[in-house]
Amino acid sequence: MWFMRQAGRSLPEYLRLREGVPMLESCARPDMIVEITLQPVRRYAVDAAIFFSDIMVPLKAIGVDLDIKPGVGPVIADPIRDAAGLGTLRPLEPGDVPYVTEAVRGLVGELGSTPLIGFAGGPFTLASYLIEGGPSKNHDRTKAMMYGEPRLWAALMDRLADLTIAFLKVQVAAGASAVQVFDSWVGAVSPQDYRESVLPHTSRIFDEIEPLGVPRIHFGVGTGELLGLMGEAGADVVGVDWRVPLDEAVRRVEPGKALQGNLDPAVLFAPWETVERRARDVLDRGRTAEGHIFNLGHGVLPSTDPDMLARLADLVQEAGAGEQ
């Protein structure tokens, strides 16, 4: 088990360390990356650390003019909406992100037998931020390109897949034990559009990472109707958000895949009796899968009580120990 966004946001020690330091700066300082990644591992009985970074880091590293504004999210100064904009995206080289290599190596040394999960953003989500210029509820400009300019869309997705592959390879080369691709907003597309306009690019990411020999996790939000296709994309583990029960997800995902998830992060604001009941239900349903990584159905919410997460982690570990 581990928690998405377990590093930061809800931890007082994280907030103290980050005070006055912009998000992208904290993601480029190896000392901060190491400390923030380790903070939840010290607090919680988790089985893995998740590398502290942001999906926008590789875009920033290749020169995209962007910022992560508090309360807003990633904001792109010059959105990409034509071939000229596409030409500004160059390949990512390991030398563009030396702080990632340094931080991963440092973490591997500190973590010992605890695995480190590396991660990168999925191509649809990165494309949406680049095209929209920031967060979007409807992804209207993104879909307009996908529907109306399929060649430009495919070229953009190709470049973003290359970027994701390169960013993951840097992390694995430095010692990451597993990787997760967060295609957070891909649930905005229909199954047909996913198959035609997203799946080929996501599949290439997982195909390129396979020879590295590390487990690969694939996650998106609102992807209940896409779970089968996400399984086809080639990852070893399919992440499930809180909207689809895990035993139902088993029926939607092809055999041979493990599942990850999927307690609603908002449940952690309820009384402990409710959290325990809901967590045990997730564990029971997860037993129908070929493998199950307990996690939340999305990231830890900022005002979550860290002590509640600690109790949840202990509960899950005790339940797992009881089955051995």
Catalytic residues: 5, 9, 18, 54, 129
Structure-block tokens of residue 69: 């504004």
Are the C-beta atoms of residues 135 and 175 closer than 8 Å to each other?
Answer: no
Side-chain half-sphere exposure of 26, counting CA atoms within 13 A: 24
Which residue matches tokens 């990472």?
209
Which residues, 6+ apart, have CB-to-CB distance to 25 below 8 Å?
Answer: none
Residues 296, 300, 301, CA angle at the centre, nearest 5°? 130
User: In whole angstroms, what is the distance from residue 198 CA to residue 124 CA?
Assistant: 7
Which residue matches tokens 């095209």?
131
Helix spans in the chain (H) = 12-18, 23-26, 30-43, 57-61, 83-86, 98-111, 123-132, 140-148, 150-174, 191-197, 199-209, 227-232, 246-252, 272-286, 306-323
